[in-house]
Chains A and B, each alone.
Chain A
């Protein structure tokens, strides 16, 4: 009797102590500097990042957030700075990286990243993130290496519905239809059928032509080695790409992607293939209403396929102030953070718990795209680092630039094939 009373007392004390210890552990909030490295320096991206940082500061007032963003589209300059810092042993707290090859073939392969599986399990994210996305940010053993913030779609064809009606054309379902029917009809009417911009937008177009001609299976085969770059299918891709370029504006090299989108808005061109960041350009910069003011469809031949890219943040090994980074990543992956960031940036939330149905946050385009995201076949974008290492994608820009000038199918195919042979194997090591 007596002993059992003692036992209860001791047990109660221990429990209290335990609770106290737990509480104090939670009280030990991260403090110090947290450096966030990204290439979000303008427009909605910057606004989104700043809103995230503001919210994070409310939650963790002791952390001093350092926003070290490096300007340059698609992160070209940021990556150069990041590489130098990582080589010099001076990693930032956390850095932005595209999901897929950019993360896996370089940083993960070089053993520079910490797996985040614990974080995913603590927050219940294993169920909240789609498996296809988790595969892109994991290695073969199932270690997850980054936290995705958003999803963008690459294969979108943009147009102005009223203009199409006026010119009497419909949205082409395949590239063949575009080349043989839509393009000549528009050219007769004196309209540029397709607006294209500088080289990276041509690569962007190329990947969607390839996807449309090959279909998702063979497109994926390009990156895992099962599709032959020198084969007949690829000859067809290059030939189609050449004919598509013949339907485009001649001053493409002088235009940014916004300039190309503006050609569509001003009625100089009928269509434009661009990622869905263009939705923000139509909507915010040009005050067009989704569906009535501007329309969209999957790029020709890619119905039922979602060509995706995703911005993620990872935890480098030896990151300064690891606790603060983990706190930031826990916040970043939450549905709440994604609902703050994505409506401002104009992208889909990666976390499926996000309030996608809230039309205050996400407009008609994104609700429509989200349906596709959850139901379509998912493939990764070449132009945005998801499927190929940068040893491939940087020189591939030159291949496209050369082809754009010469339209020489044989040379382009041979060059691309050799490039794939020399760089993709290095990537899968």
Chain B
């Protein structure tokens, strides 16, 4: 008998016409690392929640979940705490104000004696390498650190099964990689059984033992990563679940075993070298007047604090899509707030269409000139329904390529991350801005939603709007930006056209560029690489 067995598991939310999960049967062996993939709303979260009794939502369950030969329903709440669960949002899962207290919290709840708590905290923080954070306030940590603390806190209870629900969705790529690597270590070194649902599969796909893909609440793929990579064809909607190497392989008509990692991808690409067509023509930098200009801007939050923005200068041309890239916590959002006139720089100037921000009087800056899509779109929602929320946005909705009317009667908080983003975008566009700043617009979105957003941004550009993306998502920026800037140490370390930016960067670049940089210049997205390598992409 397998360690975890699901037998004919179905689940229906109350008053829902369709079941969220239908007849799912799975066997997972002890020590397996399972990647659970699927679009938003495919039932990944629902499935994970059914495996842990306290997290089950209201609804009708059919079928059985057996853990180590016992039904999970029969677990006491203490035993059930031995099933670790980490969700998407790093902030909301923290309970206390200090890191040490957060680590102690789980064992405190289980009534463990002091000595055991001290020992387990010491062990865990050594394993996770978070010793230096021990006495910090949880509020001062970065998103990646918070998520590591959440994982470590769950691990103090010594679970045998770990359930992770999109744990890296809110993290920047570097923090996400570190998180996934830590999960892998838990699996490899401690033999922990892990089920992790994810949108970002670049590393996970080649590291996991098994991939399960859900569609509308049913399992459509279940097998070893290589088998799955073989079964997903180039026209499948699930192509975006594959890592870049496998995607490129499919798009260039590769046969047989698909490469999964960057290294394998490089090998595949160099075998195709002879097929390489001519390189891309470098796009002529269009002479445009600057829309948004920051000159020698300095900014700090506290009088005696360190500078968050240090000699920041950048110039965004009118009509282009400009991406400001950098890791989380580097100060990008602060840069956006200064550029949007929400924070006054300590010194330096910010100009919009050649006019200083402070010369836009009586709020004229935010009417028809500049708008900001904030990182937490929840900060925009005031009403109980989407309909009320979108009052005054009729103009925008008329030209909006996606129909939002089916969402009208729902509460903004009941929408998926992507849908919220679209509603927020409509609100922000209602002021008819000429320059739109978007702060981490791709955060937490699945592949389909990201493509939708990219199409929207391209359309904004076609209409002559200037778009500034503030993002840590390199792959996302590569798909839509004309020019990219690397934000570091409070200023701009490099700024270039997307083509040169991604091709010349060694570390801070896309998976496609890493695979192709030796044989072709400018193939920085999988689609461009496929085109150059003679595929049908």
Query: Does chain A bind chain B?
Result: no
